[in-house]
Structures are given as structure tokens and as C-alpha cells.
Amino acid sequence: MDIGFIGLGNMGAHMARRLLEAGHKVVVYDTRQEAIGNLAALGAIAARSPAEVADAAEIVMASLPTPDVVFNVATGPSGVIEGKRVRRFVDLSTTGAVMAQRIFDMLRARNIVQIDSPVSGGVRGAEKGTLAVMVSGPGADVAAVEPALKVIGRIFVLGERPGLGQTMKLVNNVLSAAAMAATAEAMVTGVKAGLDPRQMLEVINAGTGRNTATEDKFTKAILPGTFDLGFAAGLMLKDVKLFLAERESLGVPTDVIEAVARLFQAACDECGAEADISAVILPVEKRAGVKVRAS
């Protein structure tokens, strides 16, 4: 298949590479020439704009950081909407259901079908092709892009309505964020009381408190103090805020998630939005006067 790929960051570069390794012809674009060059060295074809990508492929995939960036790439000047060949725009980003519907409507006017396809599984999942791929869109169009999506992970088709994939991604991410936030507060409390953090994780993971943070993220990035999970705290905060906006329109109470948002906001304010997601523990440690690190 001829596939366009826009956005070659921590996630996108691995996904584009996997498509190349699977034998697809891949046309790539990123605002960073270095990122384009890295993929071109592996056999990708370099493009100079999203429109040029959309001139070269019927399927254009995008992995981008924020809803506004996705909107501009999809519908702005020199965007995918101006492409001569594109027929399907596969959005692997996290934008929220409202933005997904907006982009869907604008592209539909140009006979381009937007397919929601946000992913979860982190950089490691993108590298290994084990992402959870949450897809919504017209059935025939989803079927047409499935061979490409299967290269990057396991596909979950959620329905045809625009935005369903986005809602599913936000539900997943706020649960991941809540696990990080709650585990940070619990671990800091235990350490301040005199418990060993590595032993705490062993006990938690043998019991009912285990979660994705205790099973993987704390051991990998917080105990050794590397803070390098590969996903920015600011991006997680963006996802949590998108969830809160969506639940408000649906009239769902979410007191717990609002508290999670406050902690991630504190991490971004004190450590910077580009800090790793694992930095969410730092404001808690600072106030408690202890650090959760392996001895």
C-alpha cells in the first residue's frame, strides 16, 4: 500500500518505521528535517508539506501532539485537505470527540473520510507493534485501512460514529493518569512512614492495589530517578482536560479525575510541561520532604 505518515515524534517514528518494514511505500512529513531524514534513510519518501503527502497516497496517517496541530495539518493551508490523491485520513492522535467530528465534517466536504484511530501502549508499544488501536469510522473505510493498522497494533473497532475512538482513548488515558497520581501519593506516604519503596511495590503487585504504575512505570522511571517513560506530563494533562470537557457535555460527575488534573497541573507548573509523566510524583515528594527512590 501507498501510505502517507505525518508526525515522526516518539510514537510516530516507530509506527512509520514498522510500516516500511512491512513492505509498504511510506511518504513522510514532519516539521523537523532530522526526523524526516531518519525515516528517509530507512527507505521512506520525504515530502515538504502535509498536502504533498496527501498528493502521494490515498491513505494518510497522522500522529500529532495536540488537537490544534491536528486540525491545522488536516484542514489548514497546505494541509491534507488540499491533497489530490488522499481518500482517507487516519488520525492516530488524541484530539477528543468534538474535534474529531469537526475534522470529519470538513474533510467529508472534499470527499475525504476521516477515521479516528488513537493508540495506547506508549513508546514501547509503538516500537514493538503492540499498541491498542481504537478505531471508529465508516465500515468500508475502516476495512480499507486495517492492513496498515494491523502493523502497529491490535485493532478495536468501536463503531462508525466520528469521535467514538477518541472517547475510548480519553477513558483509557484518564485511568492511566489516575493510577500514576494515586500511586505517587500512596508511595510517598509509605516512604515517609519508613517503608522501603521497592518492597512496597512487591507487596502491592502481589495484592489488589497493583496497576500499570506499580507494575511498570515506578520500577522503570521513578525508583531509579530516570524519569524517562517517553510521554510528557503536559500531553497527559491535555488528555485529562479533554476528558473533563467531554464529561461536562455529557453531564457526568468526575470528582476523582478533577483531582488528578490538579496534580498534573502542579507537575507541569513546577517541572515544565515537557517533563516526563513520571514527574507527577515530584510535587508530592517536595511537599512531603521525601523521595521515592531505590537505595
Name the residues annotated as catalytic. Answer: 169
State in Å, rounded, how far the first CA of the chain is from the last one: 51
- Residue 293 near residue 224, CB atoms below 8 Å: yes
Q: Are 274 and 232 in contact (CB under 8 A)?
A: yes
3-state secondary structure of 254: coil
Quickly count: other Cβ atoms within 10 Å of residue 260's Cβ.
24
Name the 3-class secondary structure at 56.
helix
How far apart, in whole angstroms, are the C-alpha atoms of residue 131 and residue 149?
Answer: 10
Please name which of 120, 295, 277, 289 lies closest in space to residue 183, comparing C-alpha atoms: 277
Contacts of 2 (CB under 8 A, 6+ apart): 24, 25, 27, 56, 57, 58, 59
